[in-house]
Amino acid sequence: MPSSSPQAVLEAPVQEESLRSLVCGQEVLLQGQIIVARDQAHRQLVALIQAGQKLPFEPEGQVIYYMGPSPAQPGRVIGSAGPTTSGRMDPFTEPLLALGVRALVGKGRRSPAVKAAMLKNGAVYLAAVGGAGAVYGQVVKSVETLAWPELGPEALLRLTVAAMPVVVINDLAGGDLYDSGPLAWRL
């Protein structure tokens, strides 16, 4: 459902204050430096947290993108960079939110526990469009491997992105576009 709210620009890393005006359904252009972590990287991150060790990035204000990268073509920094299913990261998300991660980007619904943790910790969930990996690859300006290169496409990465189009799914007021969107379309 298209939002009646104006398109926003969100600079990453973000502060909780910059998220307060976002509402579910709103279109956002994400730019700046974001972290890429999938299942295996999340397991490693939570293991570091449980061991009381430092993470390979500063979590406060971070945006974590659940992305499945593909190899770069000549002259490009990355290939396809589409979202992967967010629910697979749900078991690992709460400890990262507690450390100050402010936005999560992926596709699909989040669990009730993750939605509660986002509200408690001042974080939002943004959706990237599945099937649009080629478009997302074009907004990536640089890629840096931060940790676990042996994990291949599951390595922990830092991307610099410019004008990455996403939609607010879960906002700081508890809104959930997966719930409110279908209700708004009923006749």
With cut-offs at 50, 70 and 90, classify the pLDDT of residue 131. Answer: confident
In which residue are the tokens 């690992």 written? Answer: 92
Pick 47 or 76 by higher pLDDT: 47
Q: What is the pLDDT of residues 58-96, one digit of tens each?
A: 999 999 999 988 888 888 899 889 899 999 999 999 999
pLDDT of 9 over the 80 cut: yes
Q: Which of 62, 135, 148 is nearest to 104 (CA)?
A: 62
In which residue are the tokens 């998220």 written? Answer: 19
CATH for the stretch 30-147+155-185: 3.20.130.10
Q: What is the pLDDT of residues 87-105, one digit of tens each?
A: 999 999 999 999 999 999 9
Token pair, residue 138, equals 């074009």
Map out the domains of the chain as residue ranges: 30-147+155-185
C-alpha torsion sign, points 14, 3, 165, 155: positive
With cut-offs at 50, 70 and 90, classify the pLDDT of residue 132. Answer: confident
The CA-to-CA distance between both ends of the chain, in Å, stands at 14
